Amino acid sequence: MKKICIFLAALIFISGFLFAEGQAEEETATIGISKIVSHPALDAVEQGIMDALRDLGYENIKYDLQNANGDLNTAASIANKFKAEKVSLAVGIATPTSQALATAMKDIPVIYSAVTDPVDAGLVDSYDKGEANVTGVSDMTPVKEQIAMIHSIAGIKTLGHIYSSGEANAVKLASIAKDVCGDMGIDFVETTVTNSAEVKQATQAIIDRVDAIYVSTDNTVVSALSSVADVALKAGVPIMSADPSSAEQFDILAAYGFDYYGMGRVTGQLVAKILEGTPTSEIPTQYMTNEEDLILHINLDVAEKIGLEIKDDIREKADVFVKDGEVVKK
Amino acid sequence: MIEGIFVEGLIYGIMVLGVFITFRILDFPDLTVDGSFPMGAAIMAVFIINGVSPWIALVLAFIGGYAAGCVTAIIHNKLKVPNLLAGILTMTMLYSINIRILQNRANLPLVKAETMLTKVSSLTEGFLPQSAAVLLFFVLVVVLFIIALNFFFHTDMGLTLGAMGNNEQMVICQGVNPKVMKLIGVGLSNGLVAVSGAFAAQYQGFADVNLGQGIVVAGLASVMIGEFLLRSNKIVLLLSRVVLGSILFRGIMYLGRFYGYYINLTPNDLKLITGLLIVLSLAVTQIKKRKRNRQAAS
């Protein structure tokens, strides 16, 4: 008797899914957004997409915001959920979630965002055009411009770089940074971490050998940026971060790049184009390397603490200042 | 979507079979799983990208996982390291090895590659929808695995393995070396986990070094939910209920995503639900056991 009860309960439970499919069809335009983990930069992308679409007049869109909690095995579950709901369009934020969406959906448009190298990630075949149902925005950070900028601010001979060996994007950026340093005649000192708890020790290990530290858009290192900032400030070493949106929270000298909210807005505009009927195959991967998209963040308090004079031309270029603990935006 | 739950439940069910062998049959809590799962995925992805048949890759994934399990067993046997710690050590080392297998990358895409799944669906094109073909394929695979394991656990070696988890001393008295048994058992378990990882990589469309995160916990939760479903002493039923537990676990996670917002549940809360599920299953098992003991006493 007991066993029969349990089986009946399981049967009712499973039949619940059949209803789930029926309900989802009644919605008009649904956009599914799947992100790999809740993280300030990725949350900003999500917000940017929704704000851009609202500003473009898409007010009746239903959003299904999903998050894999860092567990990559759920990425496919999320893709299946979107498929079952018959979303009009799915957005993947970060590489693995986008790959899972592109694998599961063959006739629903898939837009990737915050993917550094979409060809390397197998999402599209070429940088010049999109796939039959896949296109998106790359978050390739302007490494060359960033290293040139920290060089013009601090006049460095050696550059230290901390990155996570487990993040495809971070490994790629590290190799680009190495090449850029080689071209500019700067010595490159690299060290890798596997999780955010190791970041502080990795910084301490290289801090005495470098004139500046470069932090790329590496999720693991950015999430432990306060420990990098702490060690570097004590040693009097400037930091150049590729992420201006998190720079205000930490004592780092400079940040140069685009903010993820801005990238979210660009993604949102792309989504709107596709909702209006432009086929994804006609839209190539979009980049955020235009100079007007880049934000230069300078912290004058840190400059004073480490005894660095910020030249006038840099001051002119800067979009955001931190002075006496206050953030000034131009 | 319902076929999505079953397919995932079956793919991860192979992993849960491995977890079941170590945790329940051998009584050897093995955390190597968090490393051998992405290892299987990595081996499969690399061979597919290099044009090797996925079937050969599957065998190699099993061998790779088996070797990883053996490393854990050897660390535990020879260095007298507690089994939990031995597993953590191997899992940590596998992180670097997996990056090496993936040819110094963290993520290898299979989105456009020809996998077993694309082969199966092109084979059945015309008379079966793609999702049904994939589901049928995994049902067959899992049934084959259960039959093979059932056969194995009826051989002398399989029976000894089961006996050792119950009473190690008895096995020693029979003149069997428990260390050898652990080597075989933990190896087999991780071989299965790697095979599961190899299928998961093809299903998701990528292999990633971080694929192992949360695998042990998902496996444990599935084993315990399965035990909740039916009770038996027959090994074939024990193996089947493990797979049923895995399907049910995926189903519950789906439900959390689908209906969670009615009770203000966000996707961030799903990890908490996983943990609570395990705690709940443990509590129910304890209560049942106490009831049974009381009945036996009276």
Q: What is the pLDDT of residues A255-277, one digit of tens each?
A: 998 888 889 999 999 999 999 99
Across the interface, of B204, B255, B271, the residue whose CB is closest to A103 is B204
> By the CB < 8 Å criterion, does A201 face chain B?
no
Which numeric CATH code is attached to A2-139+262-290? 3.40.50.2300
> Are A99 and B111 an interchain contact pair (Cβ–Cβ within 8 Å)?
yes
CB pairs under 8 A, 24+ apart, for B262-265? none
Residue B87 neighbours by CB under 8 Å, 6+ apart: B29, B30, B31, B32, B33, B72
> Is-above-0.90 flag for pTM?
no
Report which DSSP code applies to A297. Answer: E
- pLDDT of the residue at A24: 42
Helix (H/G/I), strand (E/B), else coil: A255: strand
> Are A77 and B213 an interchain contact pair (Cβ–Cβ within 8 Å)?
no
Neighbours of A234 (CB within 10 A): 12
> What part of B 218-277 touches A (C-beta under 8 Å)?
218, 228-230, 248, 250-251, 253-255, 257-259, 266-268, 270-271
> Are the beta carbons of B47 and B201 closer than 8 angstroms?
no
The CATH number for B39's domain is 1.10.3470
Across the interface, of B2, B113, B205, the residue whose CB is closest to A17 is B2
A122 contacts in B (CB within 8 Å)? 109-113, 205-206
> By the CB < 8 Å criterion, does A8 face chain B?
no
- pLDDT of the residue at B37: 96
Angle of helix B156-166 relative to helix B178-204, nearest 10 degrees?
Answer: 100
| A113 vs A284: CA distance, rounded Å | 13
Domain containing B36: what range? 2-297
Nearest chain A CA: its distance from B173 CA (Å): 39
Among A71, A82, A123, the residue to mutate for chain B (most B Cβ within 10 A): A71
Nearest chain B CA: its distance from A45 CA (Å): 17
In this prediction, residues A137-158 reach a mean pLDDT of 90
Helix locations, A109-224, DSSP H:
143-154, 168-184, 199-206, 219-223
> What part of B 30-89 touches A (C-beta under 8 Å)?
none
Nearest to A287 by CA among A263, A269, A271, A265: A263
Nearest to B245 by CA among B266, B260, B225, B263: B225
> Are A17 and B254 an interchain contact pair (Cβ–Cβ within 8 Å)?
yes
pLDDT tens profile A74-85? 888 899 889 888
Across the interface, of A66, A84, A104, the residue whose CB is closest to B267 is A66
CA nearest to A131 within chain B: B112
pLDDT tens profile A7-56? 656 555 655 555 554 444 444 789 999 998 888 889 999 999 999 999 99
Count of domains in chain B?
Answer: 1
Confidence category of residue A220, pLDDT binned at 50, 70, 90: confident
- pLDDT of the residue at A27: 45
Which ipTM score applies to this complex?
0.76
> Are the beta carbons of B22 and B196 closer than 8 angstroms?
no
Helix locations, B155-234, DSSP H:
156-166, 168-173, 178-204, 215-229
**Among the four given CATH numbers 3.90.550.10, 3.40.50.2300, 3.40.50.970, 3.40.50.300, the one describing domain A143-257+294-329:** 3.40.50.2300
Q: Tell me where in chain A the CATH 3.40.50.2300 domain(s) lie.
A: 2-139+262-290, 143-257+294-329
pLDDT tens profile B6-64? 999 999 999 999 999 999 899 899 999 999 999 999 999 999 999 999 999 999 999 99
Helix (H/G/I), strand (E/B), else coil: B115: coil
